[in-house]
Amino acid sequence: MRKIFTVLVLLFLYSTAFSQINLNVKASVNNLLRYGNGYEYTGSEKNSKEYFENLTDARLSVNDFTLGMRYEISDPIEYGRDFKGIRKRFVEYKNDIGIAVRAGDYWDIVSRGMTFNSFEDRTLAYDTGVDGVRVSYKKTFGDKNPVKIKAQILGGDIEYSDYLTPERIETYKVRDANFEISPVKNLLIGTNYVYSKGVVPSGNARTNITANLPEAYMNLNLGDFSFYSSYAHKNIIAERNTVYPVGFSSMGDGFYSSLSYSKAGLGVTIEYKNYRFDLTNPDNQSNERASKMLPFQNPPTAIKEHTWTLISRNPHTVDFNDEVGGQVDIVYVVNDNLNFNLNGSVASRHYDYINTDNTGKIVYQRIERNFALIPSLDKQFSPFWEVYLEGEYYMSKKTYAKLALYRQNSVIYNNIIPNASEQLFVTTVPLQLKYIINKEYSVKLVAEQQVVHNSVRNADQLNYYNQLIAVNLTKSPELGFTLSAEFTNDNEEPTGKKSWFQGEVLYKLNQSNTIMVSYGSERGGLRCTNGICRFVKPFEGFRFTFQSHL
């Protein structure tokens, strides 16, 4: 990879210094500075917390070549591992005949991510970026009945730091071959194959694995309908070590499909997922097991990603190794001033397990069921379902309102003590009102009410409520000021607090530079992206962000 990277850099320098054609030069620099100082809570324990992060992304394009790099100072980092130096760098070549070559660091997604979907989310300390080479070719043959093809190969190394335990590092050498063809205008057929050799830490041992992931997918558009379907197979071979004395071979697969209908005023999407990438017994569901779904796989979640604060704090964490379900999403536009969104999703595990040992040990046996292709609402399958209804209404050119109703039911089944299974019922009613005072000023009010029932709490605390109120005043386009307050009557709140208050100011110095300052307390909770979730600890103190685009 280093040789290819060096060759592309030399070609880039050559084209810049000796080209006889007109040079088309573009340059950009983005800088993000983040600083925080205060306290972070672990349960009721209060510890000092400080972070300082600065990321500078620079890019220079000359004709068909692009050279880029990221210089990072994370000392200390908010989440993840501290770092100083050049974290990312790449050189890329593209031309008009459809060839593109990139050497260095990159992220990529093949189709919808069933076998390959690498991405970065710094707020989760999640990064599955590849350091390697990617070569792609796109071509259209014919004019009257054009046939389109795309071929891509990529390879490189992934160093994945477990976002829950950053010092735990998984390494992978990845090779990927992807081919897509569109033989007719509205049909696309594709296939992808991933071959990887990895090292997965499991306790004090390191397991060497070899993974093969073939995938086939297609997309069809007919009038107002769009249909997509993908099937992926996963085979992992693990070598012998102290954790796996005889080694093993593991098989898994996944299927995803969606059907969409869109017409003036109405949009309907139906999604189905059947993920069985690593079916395993309840006592073996560790994120360190070598047979789990690989970190550079991230299939569609088939659930709605909510933006309301209280709803997003209790999301459903998708189990890509063992989950079947789907969702229906309907958008209906009554007129220019009124529209509705109705969403419903359901999911569960595939099978139930029973203990077959009578000697005091736990030996699980899977109970087969005839309808494992559809989710079950029986509690032994850890079911989840939610319904969300939202309405938006523009009462006038100056007044806007959004009102929603959300209901979630979920079970975390306890196979050892079924009566101790956690049942969670959540009802949330969020409201947003916005009023435009004049051309410069507007005010927005957000109020969220939530009632929670949790079956595993103390008898007098099975039910509790949460409440959020936020007021935002904006002076367009440069200034925004927000005050937020959150309350609860939860006597089992880990921090022991009942209220949180925060103020935030956003100021645009100009079109290229923005400052954001906040002070106060944040409750914390789960934060999810693409089905990846982490618990963010409560924080109280000062935060500063400065973002520049040049």
pTM above 0.85, yes or no: yes
pLDDT of residue 272: 98
- Provide the 3-class DSSP secondary structure of residue 354: strand
pLDDT-derived band at 1 (thresholds 50, 70, 90) equals low
| Pairing state between β 147-161 and 364-367 | unpaired
Q: pLDDT at position 47, please?
A: 94
* Region of poorest pLDDT, from 244-253, 444-453, 498-507: 244-253
pLDDT score of 397 more than 60: yes
Give the three-class secondary structure for 25.
strand
Name the CA dihedral angle for 312, 314, 316, 321, rounded to a multiple of 10 degrees.
Answer: 110
pLDDT band at 406 (very low <50, low <70, confident <90, very high): very high
Q: What is the pLDDT of residue 10?
A: 60
Please, are residues 10 and 464 in contact by the beta-carbon 8 Å criterion? Answer: no
Chain position carrying tokens 């309808």: 371
Amino acid at the residue 127: D
Residue 356 pLDDT exceeds 80: yes
β partners of residue 33:
54, 546
Residue extents of the structural domains in the chain: 95-264
292, 321 contact by CB (below 8 A)? yes
**pLDDT on residue 96:** 86
pLDDT of residue 285: 84
Mean pLDDT of 128-142: 95
3-class DSSP state for residue 223? coil
Whether residue 139 has pLDDT greater than 60: yes
pLDDT of residue 18 exceeding 60, the answer is no
Q: What is the mean pLDDT of residues 39-44?
A: 90
CA distance 233 to 237: 14
**How confident is the model over 142-196, as pLDDT tens digits?**
888 899 999 999 999 999 999 888 899 999 999 999 999 999 999 999 999 999 9
* pLDDT higher than threshold 80 for residue 456: yes
Q: What pLDDT score does 17 carry?
A: 58
> Residue 3 — pLDDT band, cuts 50, 70, 90?
low
Residue 339, pLDDT > 90, answer: yes
Is the pLDDT at 222 greater than 80? The verdict is yes
In this prediction, residue 531 carries a pLDDT of 83
360-393 tens-digit pLDDT: 788 899 999 989 999 999 999 999 999 999 999 9
| Residue 88 banded pLDDT, cuts 50, 70, 90 | very high
Instruction: State percent of the chain over pLDDT 70.
Output: 96
Average pLDDT over residues 191-203: 95
- Distance between CA atoms of 129 and 108, rounded to whole angstroms? 8
Residue-level pLDDT at 535 = 87
The rounded mean pLDDT for the chain is 93
Residue 5 is predicted with a pLDDT of: 60
Per residue in 238-277, pLDDT tens?
999 988 888 899 999 999 999 999 999 999 999 999 999 9
Nearest to 176 by CA among 106, 122, 262: 106
Question: Residue 2 corresponds to which tokens in the numbers above?
Answer: 């280093």
Q: How confident is the model at residue 6 (pLDDT cuts 50, 70, 90)?
A: low
N-term to C-term CA, the chain: 30
Please write the tens of the pLDDT for every residue from 294-314: 999 999 999 999 999 999 988
Tokens matching residue 162: 């477990």
pLDDT mean over 113-128: 94
Higher pLDDT, 191 or 285: 191
User: Are the CB atoms for 124 and 532 separated by under 8 Å?
Assistant: yes
Residue type for position 185: K
Lowest mean pLDDT among 3-7, 85-89, 103-107, 241-245: 3-7
pLDDT of residue 358: 80
pLDDT for residue 550 is more than 90: no
Average pLDDT value for residue range 317-334: 97
| pLDDT beyond 90 at 448 | yes
